[in-house]
Structure 1
């Protein structure tokens, strides 16, 4: 009986030790809000998936040596995993699709991004709109990873209104996103 108890304990320990716990959307956001509050920043929330090439491209651009400090100075950048398939489905953050849909991302595709303040107030989304429109409006197509001149102009507008970028920094961001490589 003692051997069985030890074996059961060992199996349970191994399962617990080797299973990765994916945080819920709420847990991801609470951590980001706390960091943003402490650092006096906003939250840049990127909805993504492992298979999404444009998601990876946007991450690569934002973390490039030329741009990384600009984004890190202004935002706590965090990710919510959605729209995974098959075995990867378990990597999704619970509540992610609901949060995406509640913030204008239903049927938008990914990457889809939001800007939130440190208290969770919704400030902007990745849906293309004119400078005179509310940045949380759900009209317009998803810019995703901005690439066209119109998408890049909108992205720069959002960054200008939600961060503290110089005109030269915004121009550099626009040029980097326009390169498509």
Structure 2
């Protein structure tokens, strides 16, 4: 019974986190349906090379609650500082699993496991990490600490 209560509490909290900004008219479109992801990746790589940062490719969709929760976690303390100081983030819209599939294939993102799915590149465009096991697919069951650990693990060594 306790497992169900904990799961229910997580679901209610997740719904509140997503619903509150929408109710206040503050919904931010994380994954732009009109952006050219190829251009955004090129620009991110140029910025990352100049600033000695890494690039995070975040594959997802605005319809995906777990994707929106990941975005919230990325932009909360302490993750926002880690993100801004060490990474250039590119949010890649996958539509309804019908957009930017070439990029998902290029960066070895198995969309069949679900989204959000992440890849980490160095400033030269070499892939350092590609999410192959769906660890962020169920963000409602993952804490912000898991995102912090991920950002710490893949940040550039200085």
TM bucket (normalised to shorter chain) is 0.5 to 0.7
Aligned to 1:4: none
Aligned to 1:61: 73
1:54/1:103 Cα in 2 relative to 1: closer, same or farther (>3 Å)?
same
Aligned to 1:80: 92
Matched, 1:113 2:125: no
Matching of residues 10-159 of structure 1 within 5 Å: 22-84=34-96, 92=99, 96-106=100-110, 107-127=112-132, 141-145=133-137, 147-148=141-142, 152=146, 156=149, 158-159=150-151
Ranges in structure 2 where 5+ consecutive residues have no aligned partner:
1-31
Counterpart secondary structure, 2:113: coil
Max Rg structure? 1
Question: After superposition, what is the alpha-carbon deviation per residue over 1:13-67, rounded to whole angstroms, capped at 9, x for unaligned?
Answer: xxxxxxx993322201111111111211000110011100000000000101332
Preserved CA contact (<8 Å) 1:43 1:115: yes
C-alpha deviation, 1:118, in angstroms: 1.3
Q: Of the two structures, which has the highest relative contact order with CA contacts closer than 8 Å and spacing of 6 or more? A: 2
Instruction: Work out the CA distance in 2 between the residues paired with 1:115 and 1:52.
Output: 21
Aligned to 1:137: none
1:21/1:100 Cα in 2 relative to 1: closer, same or farther (>3 Å)?
closer
Counterpart secondary structure, 1:143: coil
1:163/1:38 Cα in 2 relative to 1: closer, same or farther (>3 Å)?
same
TM-score in terms of structure 2 length: 0.65
Aligned to 1:8: none
Q: How many residues align?
A: 122
Instruction: Give me the CA root mean square deviation.
Output: 3.0
Preserved CA contact (<8 Å) 1:48 1:110: yes
